[in-house]
Amino acid sequence: MEPIKGRNEADTKLAGTLGELAFGRRPAAWATQETHRETGVHKTILIADRDDGALAGLANLVEEMGYDVLLAHTAADALNIARQRWPDVAILDLGGPELDGLAASRELRGMAAARSLLLIALTGWGQPQHWDMALAAGFDVHLVKPVGLDQLSFILSMAYE
């Protein structure tokens, strides 16, 4: 995967349209824009967040979009779940006493080997240094909470085939 060039005019337009986000690497082949339901393929999304309300809300949203959902409250739980059932996408919060999303991202990247995984940081941390930290830790995308339905749908449509 090659790095996507940093904050230019196109990034600014995209951020204005979709909210604040940053892309890390561009996979060799992005999935088509067909929705998950149209293809009949069941993608699995692992969501890790220490906040019960945020976790439940995002899980409901993702399930309504037709994805299978796996939930974790800690980085250790997320890694254990991934070992048992490899997700197509992992959405991780970055901070918290038992949820270090940066460390979990590095570990998931190491576990992935040849398997595909779209790693999304979903956090309240939205400063440029947070984007850089997330992308350096192996995340493909950095999103700032709250995430909108259109924004999430667009990002999840990029999950590898």
157 found inside a domain? yes
Q: Note down the domain range covering 76.
A: 39-122+138-161
85 found inside a domain? yes
pLDDT digits (tens, 9 = 90+) for 68-101: 999 999 889 999 999 999 999 999 998 766 768 8
pLDDT digits (tens, 9 = 90+) for 98-141: 768 888 999 999 998 888 999 999 988 888 888 899 999 999 99
What is the pLDDT, as a whole number, of residue 72?
95
Q: Are the CB atoms for 121 and 94 separated by under 8 Å?
A: yes
What is the residue-wise DSSP string for 35-88? -HHHHT---EEEEE-S-HHHHHHHHHHHHHTT-EEEEESSHHHHHHHHHHS--S
Our count of domains for the chain comes to: 1
* Residue the block writes with tokens 């790693």: 119
The pTM assigned to this predicted structure is 0.75
149 found inside a domain? yes
117 found inside a domain? yes
- CATH code, domain with 106: 3.40.50.2300
25 found inside a domain? no
Percent with pLDDT over 90 in the chain: 48
99 found inside a domain? yes
Question: Which tokens hold the place of 136?
Answer: 């350096």
Residue 144: strand, helix, or coil: strand
17 found inside a domain? no
